A = this chain, B = another copy of it.
Amino acid sequence: MKNFISVHDAHDINALVHKALAYKADPLRDKALGANKRIGLIFLNPSMRTRLSTQIAAANLGMEAIVFNVGQEGWTFEFEDEAIMSGNTVEHVKDAAPILGRYFDVLGIRTFPSLQNKADDYSELYIKQFIKYAGVPVVSLESATLHPLQSLTDIITITETFKEHRRPKIVLTWAPHVKALPQCVANSFAQWINAWGHADFVITHPEDYELDPAFTKGAAITHDQDYALRDADFVYVKNWSTYADYGRIYCNDPEWMLTTEKLLNTNHAKVMHCLPVRRNVELSDEVLDSFNSIVTQQASNRTWAAQAVLSELLANVKK
C-alpha cells in the first residue's frame, strides 16, 4: 500500500479487515514493526477519534507519532500552484510537504472541504498536493470528500457483528443536522460498501440530497426511508449537505431522525454512526442508549483500522 486515501488503495478489503481484527485480539503483536519510524499527524481541522486512535495505533506498532495542529500551532498553508502569496497564506504546500516528508516516514493529513466550491473540494487538491510533494506514504485522516479509515472501521464492525451465512442488508440513511456538513463519511461508506460487495446496500435521503454517483453507483437509492429500513440488518445514520447545488441545507426535517419506532420495521438492526452525533437531532437518545446501538464498538475499532493501514504503509517506507 503506497498511500491510503480511498478504497482504491485497499487491494483486498477482507484481508485488511482480518488484519485489523487480529490487532484487536492482540494489539502488540507487531510491536517491533515500526521501530525507529515516525508518523506526523497533520491536522488542518479538528479531530478526536481519528487523532487518538491513530496515535494509539502507531504506538502499538512501536512507531512514534507526533501531532501537529496546523491552525493552532502553525500557520495557514497555500495549495494553489503559482499563487502570489501576498494574502493570508504563509507557507505553500510545495515547501512544507517535502520537509514534512524528510522529518517523517509516514504522514497523516486531515483536511476538510470548504463546502463553497464543489470542483475544488472534489478535486481533493489539498491531500493530493501533500502526496505529490511529500515523497512518503500519506494516510488520509479524512479529506475533502472521503474518510477511508472510518469506512474500513465500519466494515470491520459489520464483519465482527454479523455472523449469519447470508448477505446483510445495510442502509445508509440521511439524518437532520443544524449545520452544513461534508459528504465525506457518506461518500466513503458508499464507496467501500459497494467495493466490498458483500451486502445488499440501500441509501435513503430526502430529495435533493443525492450524493456523487461516482461513490454511490451500485447501491439502491430511495427517498422513502420507511421502505429502505425494512428488514435492514445495519442502519448507518449520517447527515450530509447537498451535493448537486453544493453545500446547502434544504431539508432539515426532524421526521428523518432515526427513532426506536422506525427500527421496529428492521431486522433488529444494529445502528451505526461515525460520531460525533447530535443527540435528539440526528438520532434519539432512545436509539443511542439501546442495545441496537453499536457506535461505541464502532469508534473503538478505529484503532484497529488505523493499525492495519499503518502496518501496510510501513512495508513501503524506505529504510
A residues adjacent to B (C-beta < 8 A)? 28, 36, 38, 40, 43, 46-49, 51-53, 55-56, 59, 64, 66, 68-69, 72-75, 78, 82-87, 90-92, 94-96, 98-100, 102-103, 178, 275-281, 285, 288-289, 295-296, 299-300, 303
Contact = CB atoms under 8 A, between A and B. Distances in A.
A276 B90 CA distance: 7
Nearest to A49: B99
Given A49-B99, A84-B280, 6 more contacts: A82-B285, A85-B278, A91-B277, A94-B288, A102-B296, A102-B303
Contact of A74 (B46, B53, B86, B94): B46
A20 B91 CA distance: 27
A92 to B, nearest CB: 5
A90 B56 CA distance: 23
A273 to B, nearest CB: 9
Given A48-B68, A289-B94, A295-B95, A56 B86 contact: no
Contacts of A85: 278-281
Please classify the interface of chain A as helix (H, G, I), strand (E, B), loop, or mixed, using the class held by over half of its residues. Answer: mixed
B46 A99 contact: no
Contact of A66 (B52, B64, B92): B52
Contacts of A49: 99
Given A52-B68, A86-B178, A75 B46 contact: yes
A277 B47 contact: no
A94 B295 CA distance: 11
B55 A299 contact: no
A177 to B, nearest CB: 9
Nearest to A92: B279
B303 A86 contact: no
B52 A103 contact: yes
> Which of A40, A49, A83, A276 has the most CB atoms of chain B within a 10 A radius of its CB?
A276
Nearest to A100: B52
A135 to B, nearest CB: 10
A92 B273 CA distance: 14
Contact of A296 (B84, B98, B280): B98
Contacts of A99: 49, 275, 296, 299-300
B73 A69 contact: yes
Contacts of A280: 82-85
Nearest to A277: B95
A73 B85 CA distance: 27
